[in-house]
Amino acid sequence: MKKFLLLTSLVLFAVACDNETEGQPEKEIAEKVVDSVQVYQGNFISVGKSAVLKGDTFVYQVKMDSVAFQLTDSLSAFKKDENSIVPIKVKGQVKKNIQATGYSQLIEITEVVDIMAKPIIKMNE
């Protein structure tokens, strides 16, 4: 009789434990996607047809595309002379510079967020 009760209790225990795993939903793991377009703040320095964005912890060569040329043209109202430094905030994507000249990293500016300098009023003499 004791063997029968032991066998019955083992069977009931095994059946009862089998259904517990189905009731609990699996936890979903969400992946974080890193946005490659970030906001960068620094000093925009342009000389001729090349430019550099220098921040507190970085120095990037600027890829001179249509956005960069428009930015260079629009900064003429903020410059005292040809080689002035203008503080700006831009959105861009940093890539490794494949050219042998210049800096090791290149920023491709996608959007100008803010020009943090005041326009300079030039007096006609």
Number of domains in the chain: 1
Q: What is the DSSP string of 5-37?
A: HHHHHHHHHHHHHHTHHHHSPPPPPPPPPPPS-
Give 117 or 32, the one with higher predicted confidence: 117
Q: What are phi and psi of 94, to 5 degrees?
A: -90, 130
The answer to whether position 5 is within a domain reads: no
Rounded to the nearest 10°, the torsion over CA 70, 57, 59, 110 is: -30
The answer to whether position 31 is within a domain reads: no
Residue 37 and residue 91 in contact, taking contact as beta carbons nearer than 8 Å: yes
Residue 85 and residue 44 in contact, taking contact as beta carbons nearer than 8 Å: yes
pTM of the model: 0.66
The answer to whether position 20 is within a domain reads: no
Q: What is the pLDDT of residue 125?
A: 52
Instruction: Domain of residue 108: give its range.
Output: 38-115
Render pLDDT for 66-118 as a digit per residue (tens, 0 to 9): 999 999 988 888 887 777 899 999 999 999 988 877 889 999 999 999 999 88
Q: What does the mean pLDDT of the chain come to? A: 81
Q: Is residue 28 over pLDDT 60?
A: no
Q: Which CATH number covers residue 102? A: 2.40.50.140
Across 19-31, average pLDDT: 56
The answer to whether position 79 is within a domain reads: yes
Across 3-8, average pLDDT: 73
27 confidence band (pLDDT: 50, 70, 90): low
